[in-house]
Amino acid sequence: MEKLTGWRGFLAVWTGQAVSRVGTGMYAFGVGVFVYERTQSATLFGLILFFEMLPGVLIAPYAGVVADRVNRRTIMLFGNAGMIGGALVVLLATMHDQVNVWALYPALVVTSVAAAFHATAYESSIVLLMPESRWNRANGLIQLGEAIANVSAPLAAGTLLIVLHIWGLILLDIATFGVAFLALLVLKMPDVASGAAKQQGETAPGDAVPAPPKPRLRDDLRVGWRFIRASSGLPTLLTLTSMLNFFVNIAVVGATPLILSFADPATFGVIAAAGGAGMVTGGLVMVAWKGPAKRVPLLLTGLCGTGIFIGLYGVRPSAVLVAAAQFGFFFCLPIVNAMGAGIWQRRVPADVQGRVFAVRRMLVTVMVPIAILVAGPLIDHVFKPLLTEHGSLAGVFGPILGIGPGRGIGLLFVLLGLAMFATSLIAATNPRLRAVEDTDPAVPPVPEPEPSATAASGV
């Protein structure tokens, strides 16, 4: 059978990954519910999130090195296999009447590590499969797949968990990994060296691409850091996205208590569905629209929009207003993510994308657990009391935002929105960020270290 490459190859892989992403979402939902129902412990439930996330963050630089040394299709195949293995261990652990919850955590570590390798290879494969004119659309499809999974997985899992129990959800997850596996088997992935030469336009048809000597692992791990530090505009872009990810995840923690302070769970579900609809709509816009030639203006506009919509959450205890804000925020999200991904793909040569993207992923993702740790005490002990009947700021902000349960959290959302909007505006004045797409990606700003050289510096 003839293997697929180019845009057709990407569509095949994207379809498999989108199906797999829904299965993984149902699996994650089911495992969380399973653990909480049997332990009634928020701490043990929180450890599920911890072990699902942190190992992948820590292993990310190594995943990037491997993605630049090994064919990325092979890495995705092994990543899928690792996630299947982790799911099987969880399946075995949950089949006993007396479940030892601690036995689940090592399996979640394996899954997290495998997912980190898979995600790095998947993200850095786009430039190998298609020309730049299709990158915005491809990134939009990836965002659309995430949106579909975020909407459908919890809805489906809530129903199927009753019918199939946790074991059925795990088996469904494994079956969806099988779909992703088959899609990868029909893909022909160019190797990194030829993809880099194609991206840079340096190789004539039929020319052989010489394989460069491979540096030592210690030196290779530093390439991503060095590239970002030496690239004009990329450190600013990374700092901006990391800061905004921190603000957003504080809002994620505060959204549930804010909405439930004035709405019942059924209304909360409608508001959550509005967010899913917004994300799907934004993803569809990016798929249907080729996107602008210059991505930075739309990126900054989208970031300003996310700040405005986050602020609207807190203005009034109105389900209609919050649902509109939820739709608007999640509509902006896939557009911002697609533009950001396109900028990095434009600036980073294909042969170092694995290492550079892994560092970027690590620094942005590490903001999530930090925000979660900060948000709880910030909400409970600082903002909640501020706009109660006798709160210290009731006389100042009460006439604007209202007084009562959840209004202090509303103030937090307004301040987060203002901080996000102001941060985006300040970033827009940075000339390096505005010109970040103008640098020719054909010449990496940091040379690869020699195989025998010992790096004298670099983080």
Q: Residue 205 domain-assigned?
A: no
CATH number reported for the structural domain that contains residue 407 in this entry: 1.20.1250.20
With cut-offs at 50, 70 and 90, classify the pLDDT of residue 214.
low
Same domain, 291 and 192: no
Same domain, 280 and 365: yes
10 Å Cβ neighbour count for 118?
26
pLDDT at 452 over 80: no
Same domain, 108 and 229: no
pLDDT score for 430: 93
Q: Residue 454 domain-assigned?
A: no
Count the residues in the chain: 459
- What rounded mean pLDDT belongs to the chain? 83
pLDDT at 229 over 80: yes
DSSP states along 337-365? HHHHHHHHHHHS-GGGHHHHHHHHHHHHH
With cut-offs at 50, 70 and 90, classify the pLDDT of residue 4.
confident
Report the distance separating Cα 273 and Cα 278, nearest Å: 9
Q: Residue 261 domain-assigned?
A: yes
Query: Over 146-204, what HEC string results?
Result: HHHHHHHHHHHHHHHHHHHHHHHHHHHHHHHHHHHHHHHHCECCCCHHHHHHHHHCCCC
In eight-state DSSP terms, residue 385 is: G
CA angle 174, 176, 181 (to 5 degrees): 90
**Prediction pTM value:** 0.74
- Identify the residue whose tokens are 């990994």: 177
pLDDT at 203 over 50: no
List residues bridging with 187 in a β-sheet. Answer: 4
pLDDT score for 114: 93
Same domain, 248 and 190: no
Domain span including residue 135: 1-196
Positive or negative CA dihedral for 144, 344, 137, 425? positive
Q: Is 162 exposed, middle or buried (0-12, 13-18, 19+ CB in 10 A)?
A: exposed
Report the distance separating Cα 392 and Cα 206, nearest Å: 74
Report the distance separating Cα 315 and Cα 401, nearest Å: 6
For helices 353-365 and 367-377, angle between their N-to-C axes, nearest 10 degrees: 0
10 Å Cβ neighbour count for 443?
9
Q: What are the pLDDT digits (tens) for 66-81?
A: 888 889 999 999 999 9
pLDDT score for 242: 92
pLDDT at 207 over 50: no
Q: Residue 455 domain-assigned?
A: no
Spell out the alpha helix ranges (H) of 261-352: 265-288, 296-313, 319-347
Q: Residue 451 domain-assigned?
A: no
Please state the rounded mean pLDDT for residues 50-57: 81
Report the distance separating Cα 425 and Cα 300, nearest Å: 8
DSSP states along 192-224? HHHHHHHHHT---TT---PPPPPPPHHHHHHHH
Q: Residue 459 domain-assigned?
A: no
Instruction: Kindly state the percentage of the chain with pLDDT values over 70.
Output: 86
The structural domain count of the chain equals 2
The better pLDDT of the pair 240, 148 is held by 240
**Residue at a domain's end among 196, 216, 233:** 196
pLDDT score for 218: 66
Same domain, 349 and 398: yes
The better pLDDT of the pair 61, 332 is held by 332
Q: What are the pLDDT digits (tens) for 348-376?
A: 888 888 889 888 888 888 888 888 778 87
In eight-state DSSP terms, residue 130 is: S
Residue 273 CA, chain-centre distance (Å), reads 20
**Residue at a domain's end among 177, 196, 215:** 196
Same domain, 246 and 124: no
Report the distance separating Cα 355 and Cα 65, nearest Å: 5
10 Å Cβ neighbour count for 102?
10
pLDDT at 42 over 60: no
With cut-offs at 50, 70 and 90, classify the pLDDT of residue 41.
low
Using alpha carbons, select from 315, 317, 10 the residue that is nearest to residue 140.
10
Same domain, 336 and 389: yes
Using alpha carbons, select from 328, 335, 316, 336 the residue that is nearest to residue 274.
328
Same domain, 192 and 229: no
Q: Residue 215: left (phi > 0), alpha (psi -120 to 50), or beta?
A: beta
Report the distance separating Cα 285 and Cα 375, nearest Å: 32
With cut-offs at 50, 70 and 90, classify the pLDDT of residue 65.
confident
Same domain, 175 and 255: no
User: What CA–CA distances, in Å, run from 37 to 31, 101, 120, 244?
Assistant: 10, 11, 34, 34
Same domain, 243 and 167: no
61-70, 193-202, 384-393: least confidently modelled range: 193-202
Q: Residue 202 domain-assigned?
A: no
Q: Residue 244 domain-assigned?
A: yes
Amino acid at 108: L
Report the distance separating Cα 183 and Cα 75, nearest Å: 14
Same domain, 174 and 289: no
Same domain, 355 and 396: yes
Report the distance separating Cα 24 and Cα 153, nearest Å: 8
20-24, 194-198, 453-457: least confidently modelled range: 453-457
pLDDT at 99 over 70: no
